[in-house]
Amino acid sequence: MDLADIRTRIDEIDNGILALFAERMELAADVAASKRATGKAVFDPARERDKLYRLVTAAPDAIKPEVASLFSLLMSMNKAAQLKILNADRTDSAAAQAKAALLAQDTPFPMTATVACQGVEGAYSQIAACRLFSTPKITFHPTFEGVFRAVRDGACEYGVLPIENSTAGSVNAVYDLLAEYRFSIVRSLRLKIDHQLLAKPGVALADVHEVFSHEQAIAQCSELLDRLGVRVHVCENTARAAELVATSDRTDIAALSSRSCAALYGLDVLAKDVQDEGNNYTRFVVISATPQVFPGATRTSLMVTLPHAPGALYRVLERLYALDINLVKLESRPIPNRDFEFLFYFDLDCPYGSPALDTLLDALDDVCERYTYIGSYTEVV
């Protein structure tokens, strides 16, 4: 056969595969009805294992791995379709909760709000809050948990917290608090971070022997600190470090902080933009005790607990692949009092209300022990 004949035959085969695949997916409704009547679980690992064994054994040696991958994906898509059908009428399903959180289409993100931030005036969280809200009323708290408590107790409508940095990585304490408080993320912001080395007026760079800052800023400016050979002290916040330098009697200390803190606390910039990477961003999230989805949301966050078993994470990733959902972040955190077991945080790039996202939210029961919908939101850049 020449190439044209080969391609014609491939098209004929593909059309046959398409018809059979459509027929196979239509049977998902019948399978779901049977399992609802009998109370059987959607995921039957013994049957799935036996079926894959039979298919792979019958396949030619040259394509055994491909057969295993193909039919594993087919079964994953079929299970997702079954779960969507079985969960369609549940008011407590993740998809139902997400739909209940959607605000009216003409509801804009608020310009004014009471907002809790960690640190003091001039902190990057405050800068982020002023970018996210036009005119926020900000209260400051010494710890990340203080922000969560302020939102929990109703003292503030929202909290603004850093969750990851492009250089230093994730802020693990915030992820742990999200797991503890089960709040919703309603918006996020990617903020360019430029650290300045600040000291009292008249202090020279050679005079500096100790530097104060937050641990994330210290990690982001390690090259400068190594070059200076100074002692480093961790503060709860970069702005607090600037405040400490400004109020101290010492003239041999400096702070890594924002440019706005120089003017705020009357400090000079000894060295500007001293972060290791010029493309240094921190991602901040807005948390709410009440689930809220504002129109136009394109990112969704989930918290998933997986069984401590081989292939557990793969089955979730396979489900995302089958639904053509883009995974933009995967973070793991240890589960307290459970050895070598982890929570996983998934950030998904998928428009809110899309069929793929609706299916996913109703189709995770068979691949995880438990999962929590953290929210759908817009990320501001």
Q: Could you tell me the residue ranges of all domains in the chain?
A: 1-89, 196-271
Per-residue DSSP letter, 363: S
User: How far separated are the first and last CA of the chain, in Å rounded?
Assistant: 55
How many whole angstroms separate alpha carbon 75 and alpha carbon 43?
10
Confidence bin at 200 (pLDDT 50/70/90): very high
Rounded CA Rg of the chain: 26
Q: Is the entire prediction scored with pTM above 0.95?
A: no
Digit-coded pLDDT (tens) for 84-125: 888 777 777 777 777 778 787 778 999 999 999 998 999 999
pLDDT of residue 35: 84
Which whole number is the average pLDDT over 344-366?
Answer: 89
Kindly give the interhelix angle for 124-132 and 238-247, rounded to the nearest 10 degrees: 130
Q: Is 2 helix (H, G, I), strand (E, B) or coil?
A: coil
Q: Which of 239, 303, 261, 238 is nearest to 94 (CA)?
A: 303
Digit-coded pLDDT (tens) for 132-174: 999 999 999 999 999 999 999 999 999 999 999 887 888 889 9
Provide the CATH topology of domain 196-271: D-Maltodextrin-Binding Protein; domain 2 (3.40.190)
Per-residue DSSP letter, 381: -
Q: What are the backbone angles phi and psi of residue 164, rounded to the nearest 5°?
A: -165, 155
pLDDT at 325 over 80: yes
How many whole angstroms separate alpha carbon 47 and alpha carbon 45?
6
User: Which CATH number does 1-89 carry?
Assistant: 1.20.59.10
Please say whether the beta carbons of 327 and 132 come within 8 A. Answer: no
Confidence bin at 268 (pLDDT 50/70/90): very high
pLDDT of residue 11: 94
- Tell me the two tokens of residue 68: 């295993």
pLDDT at 339 over 80: no
Asked whether the CA dihedral 277, 377, 145, 242 is positive or negative, the reply is positive
How many whole angstroms separate alpha carbon 332 and alpha carbon 345?
6
- Tell me the two tokens of residue 177: 């608090």
Digit-coded pLDDT (tens) for 10-27: 999 999 999 999 999 998
